[in-house]
């Protein structure tokens, strides 16, 4: 690893120095890291969804996300940035914990919500109760054209009438002229959120079993689809399960056990197209010390995801698609100094790309107003996201570092609709990489250095010279190098992608594009806590 001198420049977003290795110093580079990139797509390359990285939205404050009275242009611009690169906007799942606390009434204006008191660990808690009117559901017309929505309905409340009213409102919204004109469509209905935790949260008896769940889900899903389909005049698919965790066994709450208990056998079960599970890499529900490097560690990312391989196999064996319908860094809205940092952007990018390699079709990164792990903070905040204390001055809408993962993923996947990718074999505990193919030909590669260089580091920032081999000649002799530049892994601002920033008042990109043209034979230098995209000319 590099131990040479460093040159620094000051970020235009603040006073933190952006340290970069002097790339001309051979004594600052490790010449032993060689990465082989297949010039033609190998048989192991997997197709990538243009919406691989999508969003889950806590539905208690859904109106604020899209806009009350007028569109929330900041949030919509942030979605449009991604759509311009990927050719489609991210898919939006509206639901989560508050989907099991939402009921319909025509007597409220948009919605009314009751929230518990905030705490230091949970500055922005979910609502305990939400009453929503038709106008609440109609707000989907404000989403970018082409958006596909998964909407969660209330199973936890155990009230069929309430479920039917909410499902009807969803159907009415999606058959309306405004939503049709907007080009927004209903991809699926989700019935209940994390039912494996219902007993823990007092929504079911402590003896609640997977067999009882399947029976209740089948009844409620049948009624929900009947109401939605009646309004739409067509059949809507289901996204099923949404378990918080899995035993990975044919007992307890797991896909295997749900299938064994007949979830797919009924007429409504045959409408399931996606099976969803939820996953967080850790928990901050009671407060904890969360080390940023632990989140970013290559082996941790892989072990967190490969634990789901039995579930993925069981789902795919039934001809269904597997998604992480809710995911992010640390449960209970994220850990301060970790989930809201630049290191989380590198984690999210590698986590997303590796997930695709093991058969996960799509990941929905969860968001709520004021959550620490948000990619996007869509409204002005008056209380700190870290401890709930009043801010000296309001914090306007802004993107957080992890948003760059969505941008880079969209650019890497591209808008072709036919991109495949393969994970590169890199013998380094911190380095990961992926190659992307168009028409079977190598188009791009991502290299990610997950080693955390933090603001309290006492040693110089290191760098690695990555030599590239291809096994056979490739037509490209030069490549364009684009970098995610990061002040420190624990920085909460000051990142640039190709010299440009999204840390603007309207979420639109600012600044001139800065890339490098390099000889393929020279390889590329990668500093700690840095991402590079190589585009082969």
Q: Which of 138-147, 326-335, 394-403 has the lowest mean pLDDT?
A: 326-335
Give the domain-ending residue among 413, 436, 456: 413
Give the domain-ending residue among 389, 413, 437: 413
The pLDDT of residue 246 is 66
Please indicate, yes or no, whether residues 196 and 310 belong to a single structural domain of this protein: yes
HEC per residue, 173-221: HHCCHHHHHHCCEEEEEEECCCHHHCCCCCCCCCCCCHHHHHHHHHHHH
pLDDT in tens, 99-150: 999 999 999 999 999 999 988 888 999 899 999 999 999 999 999 999 999 9
The pLDDT of residue 433 is 98
Are the C-beta atoms of residues 436 and 421 closer than 8 Å to each other? yes
Please indicate, yes or no, whether residues 342 and 478 belong to a single structural domain of this protein: no
Please indicate, yes or no, whether residues 357 and 451 belong to a single structural domain of this protein: no
Say if residue 490's pLDDT is above 70. yes
Compute the average pLDDT of residues 167-180.
97
Compute the average pLDDT of residues 272-298.
84
Please indicate, yes or no, whether residues 409 and 423 belong to a single structural domain of this protein: no
Give the domain-ending residue among 413, 429, 454: 413
Of 187, 169, 251, 257, nearest in space to 217 by CA: 257
Find the Cα–Cα–Cα–Cα dihedral 221, 147, 66, 106, rounded to 10°: -40
Mean pLDDT of the chain: 91
Residue 92 lies in a domain: yes
Residue 380 lies in a domain: yes
Domain of residue 351, residue span: 60-413
- What phi and psi values does residue 348 have, to the nearest 5 degrees? -65, -35
The pLDDT of residue 439 is 94
Say if residue 15's pLDDT is above 70. no
Say if residue 10's pLDDT is above 70. no
The pLDDT of residue 288 is 62
What is the reported pTM? 0.93
Give 476's pLDDT tier (boundaries 50, 70, 90). Answer: confident
How many Cα atoms within 13 Å fall on the side-chain side of residue 448?
A: 31
Secondary structure of residue 267 in the 3-state scheme:
coil
Say if residue 247's pLDDT is above 90. no
The pLDDT of residue 284 is 73
The pLDDT of residue 287 is 57
pLDDT: is 23 or 378 the higher one? Answer: 378
Residue 53 lies in a domain: no
The pLDDT of residue 7 is 32
Say if residue 18's pLDDT is above 80. no
Say if residue 31's pLDDT is above 90. no
Say if residue 360's pLDDT is above 70. yes
pLDDT in tens, 38-84: 999 999 999 999 999 999 999 999 999 999 889 999 999 999 999 99
Say if residue 13's pLDDT is above 50. no
The pLDDT of residue 250 is 65
Structural tokens at position 350: 């590698």
CA 432 to chain centre: 19
Are the C-beta atoms of residues 189 and 217 closer than 8 Å to each other? no
Of 201, 216, 210, nearest in space to 249 by CA: 210
Please indicate, yes or no, whether residues 196 and 267 belong to a single structural domain of this protein: yes
Please indicate, yes or no, whether residues 190 and 70 belong to a single structural domain of this protein: yes
Please indicate, yes or no, whether residues 214 and 349 belong to a single structural domain of this protein: yes
Give 3's pLDDT tier (boundaries 50, 70, 90). Answer: very low
Cα–Cα distance for residue pair 448/434, rounded to 1 Å: 9
pLDDT in tens, 421-435: 999 999 899 999 999
Number of other residues whose CB lies within 10 A of the CB of residue 500 = 15
Please indicate, yes or no, whether residues 409 and 427 belong to a single structural domain of this protein: no
Indicate which CATH number applies to the domain containing 37: 2.60.40.1180
Question: Sign of the CA dihedral 411, 416, 417, 423?
Answer: negative
Please indicate, yes or no, whether residues 498 and 448 belong to a single structural domain of this protein: yes
Compute the average pLDDT of residues 152-160.
97
CA distances from 310 to 211, 250, 316 (A): 20, 10, 10
């Amino acid at each position: 690893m590099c131990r040479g001198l460093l040159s620094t420049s000051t970020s235009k977003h603040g006073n933190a120095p952006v340290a970069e290795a002097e790339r001309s110093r051979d004594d600052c580079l490790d010449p032993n890291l060689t990465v082989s990139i297949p010039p033609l797509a190998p048989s192991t390359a997997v197709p990538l969804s243009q919406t691989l990285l999508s969003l889950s939205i806590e539905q208690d404050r859904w109106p604020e996300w899209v806009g009350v009275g007028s569109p929330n242009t900041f949030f919509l611009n942030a979605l449009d940035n991604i759509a311009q690169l990927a050719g489609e906007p991210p898919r939006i799942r509206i639901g989560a914990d508050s989907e099991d606390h939402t009921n319909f009434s025509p007597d409220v204006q948009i919605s009314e919500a009751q929230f518990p008191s905030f705490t230091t660990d949970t500055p922005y808690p979910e609502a305990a109760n939400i009453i929503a009117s038709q106008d609440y559901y109609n707000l989907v017309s404000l989403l970018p054209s082409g958006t596909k929505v998964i909407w969660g309905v209330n199973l936890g409340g155990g009230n069929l009438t309430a479920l039917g009213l909410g499902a009807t409102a969803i159907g009415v919204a999606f058959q309306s002229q405004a939503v049709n004109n907007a080009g927004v469509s209903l991809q699926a209905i989700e019935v209940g959120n994390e039912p494996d935790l219902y007993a823990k949260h007092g929504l079911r008896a402590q003896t609640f079993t997977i067999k009882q769940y399947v029976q209740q889900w089948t009844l409620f899903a049948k009624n929900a689809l009947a109401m939605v389909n009646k309004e739409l005049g067509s059949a809507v698919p289901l996204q099923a399960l949404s378990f918080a965790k899995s035993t990975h066994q044919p007992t307890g709450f797991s896909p295997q056990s749900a299938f064994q208990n007949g979830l797919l056998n009924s007429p409504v079960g045959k409408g399931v197209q996606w099976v969803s599970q939820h996953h967080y890499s850790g928990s901050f529900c009671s407060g904890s010390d969360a080390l940023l490097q632990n989140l970013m560690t290559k082996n941790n990312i892989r072990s967190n995801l490969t634990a789901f391989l039995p579930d993925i196999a069981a789902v795919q064996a039934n001809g269904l698609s597997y998604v992480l319908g809710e995911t992010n860094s640390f449960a209970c809205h994220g850990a301060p100094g970790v989930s809201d940092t630049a290191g989380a952007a590198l984690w999210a990018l590698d986590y997303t790309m590796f997930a695709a390699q093991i058969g996960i079709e799509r990941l929905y990164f969860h968001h709520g107003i004021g959550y620490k792990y948000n990619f996007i903070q869509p409204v002005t905040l008056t209380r700190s996201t870290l401890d709930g204390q009043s801010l000296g001055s309001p914090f306007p809408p802004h993107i957080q570092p992890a948003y760059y993962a969505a941008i880079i993923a969209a650019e890497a996947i591209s808008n072709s609709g036919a991109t495949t990718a393969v994970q590169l074999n890199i013998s380094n505990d911190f380095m990961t990489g992926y190659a992307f193919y168009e028409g079977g030909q190598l188009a791009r590669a991502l290299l990610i250095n997950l080693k955390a260089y933090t603001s309290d580091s006492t040693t110089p920032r290191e760098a690695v010279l990555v030599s590239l081999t291809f096994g056979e000649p490739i037509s490209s002799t030069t490549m364009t190098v684009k970098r995610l530049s990061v002040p420190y892994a624990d920085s909460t601002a000051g990142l640039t992608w190709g010299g440009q920033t999204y840390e603007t008042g309207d979420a639109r990109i600012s600044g001139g594009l800065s890339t490098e043209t390099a000889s393929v034979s020279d390889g590329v230098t990668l500093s700690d806590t840095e991402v590079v995209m190589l585009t082969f000319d």
